[in-house]
Amino acid sequence: MNSVSADRQMVRAAMAAPYLERDEEHDLALAWRDDQDQTALHKITMAHMRLVISMAAKFRNFGLPMNDLIQEGHVGLLEAAARFDPERDVRFSTYASWWIRASMQDFILRNWSIVRGGTSSAQKALFFNLRRLRARLSQGQENLTDSALHSKIADALGVHEKDVAIMDARLSGSDTSLNAPVNGNEDGSAADRVEFLESDAPLPDEQVSTIIDEERRTVWLGDALKALNPRELRIISERRLSEDSATLESLGQSLGISKERVRQIENRALEKLKTALVRETPEIATL
């Protein structure tokens, strides 16, 4: 049996499953919670799969396969069953609706675009309500500008107008591959879109200049460190030149002195380094 036939069979079985009365639903929920009764879980989930299918239909306009939405909704349904407390005075369908919707929305946000959108509650509300609000607010107001429309939507959802504009642009367009060819070369030949992206990396001459400067500073520091005695050199190395800087207390314990004495030696060593650097390399004073 192929996947399409299996999905159709699942939908038919869901639509044919009987509704549960409140008492029966309560007993099945207790059996699943207390005894992990798989038969009880199956009856509960099958009785509510029509809820999953109905909710999946509301999200079909996002362009994702209906079967995938149903499967994600089923995951949310199982999560609801695992968390449901039958002792609370609430029907399972009411409780499960939130989990089913959340599971589908997360799936849509992960797969609707290769560019990951925001995942905050405000961004989710903007993503799933923008089209509906845009259509409602535009009715009878043909002269309403995009800026004014974005402002109204931002007020309605409690988000920034800039976020509305960005999301509107994303929902209005489609993903474009960076490898898509465009006519950009001087000879008229096509080039990949990625070739026109501006790089944030330093230019080659800047990279070489940075490397030379770093090498020069390393030499300066190495010469200046020769002015320190062994104890000062150890303290400066472990406090200032190590990725995991040692504490004054730990150094004091290993050297057999107080942490205040370590601080005094460190300050004196830094002054000696500064004096040595300026004396041996006068140009460093201007950096």
244-280 pLDDT, tens digit per residue, is 888 999 999 999 999 999 999 999 999 988 888 888 7
Cα 28–Cα 31–Cα 36 angle in degrees, nearest 5: 125
C-beta of residue 172 within 8 angstroms of C-beta of residue 113:
no
CA neighbor of 251 nearest in space, from 267, 268, 234, 264 = 234
pLDDT bracket for residue 2 (50, 70, 90): low
48-59 pLDDT, tens digit per residue, is 999 999 999 888
191-227 pLDDT, tens digit per residue, is 665 566 566 667 777 777 778 778 888 888 888 888 8
**Amino acid in the structure at residue 35:** D
Is the pLDDT confidence value at 182 over 70? no
Average pLDDT over residues 39-53: 92
Q: Which whole-number Å values give the CA distances from 98 to 11, 25, 81, 101, in the listed order?
A: 21, 18, 12, 5
Rounded to two decimals, what is the model's pTM?
A: 0.48
Reading the block at residue 211, the tokens are: 């490397």
Handedness of CA 145, 148, 152, 155 (dihedral sign): positive
Q: Which whole-number Å values give the CA distances from 29 to 39, 45, 68, in the listed order?
A: 11, 10, 27
Cα 266–Cα 268–Cα 269 angle in degrees, nearest 5: 65
Is the pLDDT confidence value at 240 over 70? yes
Average pLDDT over residues 74-92: 92
Burial code of 139-155, b = ≥16 C-beta within 10 A, e = fewer? eeeeeeeeeebbebbbe
Q: What is the pLDDT of residue 115?
A: 46
148-175 pLDDT, tens digit per residue, is 777 877 777 777 777 777 776 666 655 4
